Amino acid sequence: MAFWLMIIVLLVGSAALLVVPAMRYGKQNSAASRDALNKAFYQERLGELEQDEELGVIAERSELVKELQQNLLNDIPGQQAQPAQPINRWALLPGVVVLVVVAVGFYLKTGGLSQVMAWHQVESQMPELRERVADERAKPLSMEEIARLGLGLRTSLQNDDRNINDWMMLGRVGMAMNNATTATQAFARAYRLDPNNIDVRLAYAEVLTRSNDPQDNKQATEMLRKMVAEDHTNLRVLSLLAFNAFEQEDYQQAIGAWQVMLKLLPADDQRVEVIKRSIEQAKVQAGEETVKLSVNVTLSPQAEKALAPQGMLIVSVTDGTSPVPIAVKQLPVSRFPMVFSLDDSNAMMPERLLSALQQVKVRVRLSQDNLTTPQAGEWFGESGLQAFSGKEQVSVQIDKQVP
């Protein structure tokens, strides 16, 4: 309402600049004419001559009066100019209408009115969205509703930037939308506001663990080790520490964290078998460090322009003969060039391992919707077929589009 009132005031002011001068024209035209001014000057000058004669300043007053009369006659124009007719005030109405129409039209075209209306609609939906997030039995939010929730949270945080719960919720929205930047910044802000809150610390450590930046991974490791030192019975901390160590190929630390979890969990807990399989996989990884395919991915200038930050990098390795992948890996899009490795843990089937291949061909695709099936318009790249002995590095440039 305040915005529209301001618009109305500005339009009225602009119209006044057009109308007021015309309204004042009649008053100004009724002012003293040239003849009236000359007559007034003549009378004033006669009075001055009389005073000068009384004081004895002049002697030939009659000659001066004749000269003054002659000057007055010379100043009278030969033809009387026709007085200008004032503009009809109603003639200005079309100009005012055009001014209003053009101003409102430009605003509707370039002012983002539809976006503003959608924003206000999101604000009105925020109480319902918050309730559904808090209610475990409620219907899960769709991706569009999650995006609306994120917009509403950013709006709320503009007014109250010290609301830790909203920063945490915005971080979870960023993770759900696969927006690492939003998630990291939101959790980092919550951590600065309350660095001793265990839930905040865990959430921030998790998003740092999932980052492709080694510095973020290192910071997550330091945070998790400190939390374990404070409480070595917290299963959530131990689980995240094990995952963090495994991703950084620190298999001994991952195995140690999982073994501590086995001692804390009841024997009939469903997580026990999963942890045991993870320990076995870490032991295998620790003993097979020489069997690894390193991949270096770069982008062409055209693919870099179309890069979506929320996309996924889908990597598949074949033997060059069959199109069925031997190993597959998915990574969130990060800084390019990206360097990563694949091994037997990425195999599609236990009987078809990467270490058994003699030659490899690598295909890398940028997926915006995280689907395994290629979609039209998606960018991809392929390497040539090359020999593989367990230590090679393959370079792939993403420079083609799926037709």
Q: Where are the domains of the chain?
A: 111-194, 293-401
Q: Each residue of 310-344: pLDDT tens digit? A: 778 899 999 988 888 988 998 888 778 888 888 87
Q: What angle do CA 122, 125, 128 make, to 5 degrees?
A: 150
What's 270-285 look like in SS3? CHHHHHHHHHHHHHHH
Cα(252)–Cα(129) distance, integer angstroms:
43
Question: If you classify domain 111-194 with CATH, what class do you get?
Answer: mainly alpha
Kindly indicate the confidence band of residue 360, based on its pLDDT and cuts at 50, 70 and 90.
Answer: very high
Shared fold status for 111-194 and 293-401: no
Helices 164-176 and 143-159 cross at an angle (nearest 10°) of: 150
Kindly indicate the confidence band of residue 226, based on its pLDDT and cuts at 50, 70 and 90.
Answer: very high
Residue of 28 and 217 predicted with greater confidence: 217
The DSSP result for 49-70, as a single string, is HHHHHHTTS-S-HHHHHHHHHH
Taking every pair of C-alpha atoms in the chain, what is the biggest distance, in angstroms? 137
Kindly indicate the confidence band of residue 247, based on its pLDDT and cuts at 50, 70 and 90.
Answer: confident
* pLDDT for residue 69: 67
* pLDDT for residue 30: 44
In which region does residue 226 sit, left (phi positive, over 0), alpha (psi from -120 to 50) or beta (all else)? Answer: alpha
Expressed in angstroms, the distance from the first to the final Cα of the chain is 50
Cα(86)–Cα(24) distance, integer angstroms:
10
Kindly indicate the confidence band of residue 32, based on its pLDDT and cuts at 50, 70 and 90.
Answer: very low
Cα(315)–Cα(298) distance, integer angstroms:
13
Residue of 123 and 30 predicted with greater confidence: 123
* pLDDT for residue 29: 46
Find the mean pLDDT for residues 228-242: 91
Residue with tokens 């007053």: 61
Cα(75)–Cα(153) distance, integer angstroms:
79
Q: Each residue of 85-134: pLDDT tens digit? A: 555 566 566 777 777 777 777 766 776 666 667 667 777 778 888 888 87
Query: Does residue 350 have a pLDDT over 60?
Result: no
Measured in degrees and rounded to the nearest 5, phi and psi for residue 331 equal -135, 140
- In single-letter form, the type of residue at position 131 comes to E
Give yes or no for a contact between 221 and 248, defined as CB atoms under 8 angstroms apart: yes
Tell me if residue 7 falls in helix, strand or coil: helix
Tell me the average pLDDT of the chain. 80
Peptide bond into 21 cis (omega under 30): no
**Shortest CA distance to 362 belongs to which of 381, 337, 389?**
381
Alpha-carbon radius of gyration of the chain: 41
Residue of 57 and 98 predicted with greater confidence: 98
Query: Does residue 395 have a pLDDT over 70?
Result: yes
CA 266 → CA 258, 261, 276, distances in Å?
A: 14, 10, 13
Alpha helices, DSSP H only, in 137-267?
A: 143-159, 164-176, 180-193, 198-209, 214-230, 235-247, 251-264
Q: Which two tokens stand for residue 185?
A: 């910044």
Cα(41)–Cα(66) distance, integer angstroms:
15
Q: Each residue of 167-197: pLDDT tens digit? A: 999 999 988 888 888 999 999 999 999 999 9
* pLDDT for residue 251: 86
The per-residue b/e assignment along 138-165, b for 16 or more CB within 10 angstroms, e otherwise, is: eeebeeebbbbbbbbbeebbeeeeebbe
Kindly indicate the confidence band of residue 351, based on its pLDDT and cuts at 50, 70 and 90.
Answer: low
Cα(151)–Cα(169) distance, integer angstroms:
12
- Minimum mean pLDDT range among 201-205, 353-357, 397-401: 353-357
Query: Does residue 354 have a pLDDT over 90?
Result: no
Question: If you classify domain 293-401 with CATH, what class do you get?
Answer: mainly beta
Query: Does residue 61 have a pLDDT over 60?
Result: yes
Name the pairing type of β-strands 359-367 and 379-382. Answer: antiparallel
